[in-house]
Amino acid sequence: MKKKARRVKPEKGESFTATPEQYHNYLLERDYIQKQARKDFVLQPIGVIHSPFKESAGTPIQPRMAEGVKGSITIYKKFGPGLKDLKGFERIWLIYWFHRAGPTQMMVTPYLDSKSRGLFATRAPCRPNPIGISCVRLLSIRGRTIYVSDLDALDGTPLLDIKPYVPKFDSYRVKRWGWLEKQGKTQAKADDRFEAKTAKKVMEDKNGMVSRLSPG
């Protein structure tokens, strides 16, 4: 007989600690997530992003650095009705999946620095859940196709969600912004340091290393 998972109930004034399975059951007991949900959350793409960037290397690392770069987004048919009223917003948030990201790394050297930093103090794509966000300019919507500019995502990126950018909610004045305060570089572009390598790329790198080591 399968042993029933222990019910996890945080005590008042105490921090909540539980294994992923216990936490999942804690949520299920309170109807906080769908009954059919698995212990691992399942994400469903709502569309795909089309951009001029085919590889990580050379891609702007933020929408601010991709000013004027145009692209489009195809929304899958069943999600089309959700686009109603979106055209009234000048900017929108794209939430997407870094489908070309490599393995998770807890310490990374970000594009704008030469020093190793904790992953969660950066926007590096090699995350436990490789989710990216971009605030792009909305140009127009025709049917289920959204046309945008200031786009910094790779071509073929799976889109997870869209939210309107609202200055009243999304803009804050801050006095500190970590290690980035000292960075003067503003036109940075990505390289392939965080990209998952295909078998072909691994072989190319290996052959390149062999040729460099071989006497000429």
pLDDT, tens digit, 9 for 90 and up, residues 145-186: 999 999 999 999 999 999 999 999 998 888 887 888 776 555
The answer to whether residues 48 and 157 touch, using CB atoms and an 8 Å cutoff, is yes
| Predicted pLDDT of residue 200 | 57
- Give the CA-trace dihedral at 74, 79, 84, 85, to 10 degrees: -80
Together in a domain, 29 and 127: no
Query: Do the Cβ atoms of 50 and 96 come closer than 8 Å?
Result: no
Residues 18 and 124 in one domain: no
Domain-located, residue 140: yes
Say if residue 93's pLDDT is above 70: yes
Distance of CA 197 to the CA centre of its chain: 18
- Is the same domain home to 98 and 114? yes
Buried b (16+ CB within 10 A) or exposed e, 81-104: eebeeeeeeebbbbebbbebbbee
Task: Say whether both 115 and 22 belong to one domain.
Answer: no
CB atoms within 10 A of CB 59: 22
Does one domain contain both 55 and 125? yes
Q: What is the mean pLDDT of residues 195-203?
A: 64
Q: Per mean pLDDT, which range of 71-80, 105-114, 179-188 is the poorest?
A: 179-188
- Cα–Cα distance between 35 and 16 in angstroms, integer? 22
**Same-domain check for residues 142 and 61:** yes
| pLDDT score of 23 | 72
Q: Does pLDDT of 76 surpass 80?
A: yes
Which two tokens mark 137? 């300019």
Instruction: At 72, give phi and psi (nearest 5°).
Output: -145, 165
Mean pLDDT of 77-95: 97
Give the helix/strand (H/E) hosting 141: strand 131-142
Per-residue pLDDT, 216? 42
Mean of pLDDT values over 96-113? 89
> Residue 100's domain spans which residues?
47-170+177-182
* Each residue's pLDDT tens digit, 116-147: 999 999 888 899 999 999 999 999 999 999 99
The confidence band for 206, taking pLDDT boundaries of 50, 70 and 90, is low
Considering only residues 190 and 200, tell me which one the structure prediction assigns the higher pLDDT: 190
Across-strand partners of 133?
Answer: 95
pLDDT surpassing 50 at residue 214:
no
Same domain, 96 and 121: yes
Taking every pair of Cα atoms in the chain, the longest distance, rounded to a whole number of angstroms, is 71
pLDDT tens digit sequence for 21-63: 777 677 777 766 665 555 567 789 999 999 999 998 888 888 8
Helical residues (DSSP H) of the chain, grouped into ranges: 20-29, 167-170, 199-213
In a domain, 187, yes or no: no
pLDDT category of residue 194 using cuts at 50, 70 and 90: confident
Residue 80 to residue 47: CA distance in whole angstroms: 10
- Using a pLDDT cut of 70, give the percent of the chain over it: 75
Q: Which positions ≥6 away from 176 have C-beta within 8 Å?
A: none
Determine if the pTM surpasses 0.95. Answer: no
Q: Is residue 19 part of a domain?
A: yes
